[in-house]
Amino acid sequence: MNSKTQRMPVVILALLLIFWIQGAIAALPLMVDENGRPTLAPMLKKVTPAVVNISTKSHVRIQQNPLFNDPFFRRFFDAPKNMPQQKERQALGSGVILDAKNGFILTNNHVIANADEIMVTLKDHRQFEATLVGADPAADLAVIHINAKNLSQLSVADSETLEVGDFVVAIGNPFGLEQTVTSGIVSALGRSGLGIEGYENFVQTDASINPGNSGGALVDLDGKLIGINTAIVGPSGGNVGIGFAIPSNMAQNIMSQLIEFGEVRRGQLGLMIQDVTPNLAEALNIKQATGAIVSQILKDSAADEAGLKVGDVVVAINGKDVRSAYQLRNSFGLLRVGEKVALDVLRDGKQGTIHAKIAAPEHSVEKSDGRSRNVTGAVLGPIDKNHPLAGKVDGVNVVRVDRGSAAAKAGLRKNDIIVSVNRQPVSNMADVRRAAKDSKRGILLAIRRGEGGLLLVIR
């Protein structure tokens, strides 16, 4: 055998290796550059224009010592006559454009809460004043709107397909810095019970999430949104490798309701649930210590009508396993009024399926007087004790303003306080109905919004 023949297998192996490397590089276009070096730059160039910076301004009432109201004290200590009553507060956060055509941006509720002015800055440095479309404090999500052209939007991935160990990238505006990118992995899924929000089903990641990242994007290696960055756990308020994001499926569901209704219309079944503990599992003679046990059923509720009983253990909802009461509560919180739900239930050691229909919760608010079409679209109610103006003004709270309604077009907003209607002071719904009756030239509303006041005419 000559040397040429001996070299043939080596040459063939080298050629195969070259073809394999080229194939591997071609299969990962977002992971390597033209020289074969790992990089996320091509993916980020497509993604980052859809992540925006959000800055807000709000006015906060200054709490003053009661002694400043005493004329003797003011004269004795030479206190100024006109003490400032409020101060301006600024905040920074991030947002994600998910509907470029209509200018809708998803962010965290705590980024824009109580804001008098919302400014959005794009990556190309264009700035726009935004308006609030709707907010859901329970899930800490909000949708804002800008009138802008040539916007980019993110594609949304199915967060149910995430697995621990998947690589992710966080994009936002930490500490007021311009757009910043960090990377990491999915550390855990389905985190709940943290006491951060009312509805929790967080994706945990070690990708750095710092103050200002709130509302920004958590994306996979394909550049698709898999979460909205929301919170961190750290002793000093900075990143220590424990960050949380609202999964994209939950965020997209809530966003669609906020755009459609201006709020999330959560239904209810009318039951109380708790976790299945090992002791309860033993007492109920069931093998698994997971699921949610029904501890109470409200009379004549949807759960009562469906046939659920105290002691039933819900192990799945619409085909998805239920591991805890918190998870089941989150699932209920994403269902709309009127939706049908299939619950897999363990009862007396046997498993069956119960079908129920999500019912509307009982509200303590009233719709505006149907005799006056000019105010149709506003839902009014008493001033909630948690409202910033509770105890400070007398009036009626705007609980909801339907998008596209006469009230919305006039500029009425959720959480406005109506203090007078047609120059008549109002403190309850009866006052509103009486003052708005037979208004033919439109309704004049005196509004308190934050620490300021304004007049609106609804025609």
Q: Can you give the residue ranges of every domain in the chain?
A: 3-38, 40-264, 271-357, 366-458
* pLDDT value, residue 220: 93
The CATH number of domain 366-458 is 2.30.42.10 = yes
* pLDDT value, residue 369: 39
DSSP per position, 250-316: HHHHHHHHHHHHSS--B-B--EEEEE--HHHHHHTT-S---SEEEEEE-TTSHHHHHT--TT-EEEE
Active site residue 206: no
Q: Do domains 271-357 and 366-458 have the same CATH topology?
A: yes
User: Is the model's pTM score more than 0.85?
Assistant: no
Could you tell me the two tokens for 273? 């649930």
| Identity of the amino acid at 290 | T
Query: With contact defined as beta carbons under 8 Å apart, do 40 and 30 qualify?
Result: yes
Q: Taking the domain 40-264, which CATH number applies?
A: 2.40.10.120
* pLDDT value, residue 193: 64
Domain formed by 271-357, architecture? Roll (2.30)
Q: Is 84 helix (H, G, I), strand (E, B) or coil?
A: coil
* pLDDT value, residue 77: 52
Q: How many Cα atoms are found within 13 Å in the side-chain-facing hemisphere of 188? A: 10
Query: Per the residue annotation, which of 55, 59, 136, 140 is the catalytic one?
Result: 140
Query: Per the residue annotation, which of 94, 159, 192, 214 is the catalytic one?
Result: 214
Active site residue 321: no
Percent helix, strand, coil in the chain (nearest 5)? 25, 35, 40
How does DSSP classify residue 60? Answer: E
Tell me which residue has tokens 């200590």. Answer: 77
Closest CA to 61 of 427, 331, 453, 389: 389
Q: Where are the alpha helices (DSSP H) in 28-141?
A: 41-47, 71-76, 109-112
pLDDT along the chain (459 residues), means of 10: 52 50 42 73 90 82 54 54 60 89 93 86 91 87 92 91 91 80 89 65 85 88 92 68 88 89 80 81 75 83 86 87 80 80 86 86 45 58 82 86 78 88 83 76 82 76
Query: Per the residue annotation, which of 59, 110, 145, 192 is the catalytic one?
Result: 110
Whole-angstrom CA distances from 372 to 123, 367, 379, 431 are: 46, 11, 13, 14
Query: With contact defined as beta carbons under 8 Å apart, do 212 and 176 qualify?
Result: yes
Q: In whole angstroms, give the CA distance from residue 24 to residue 39.
A: 15
Active site residue 3: no
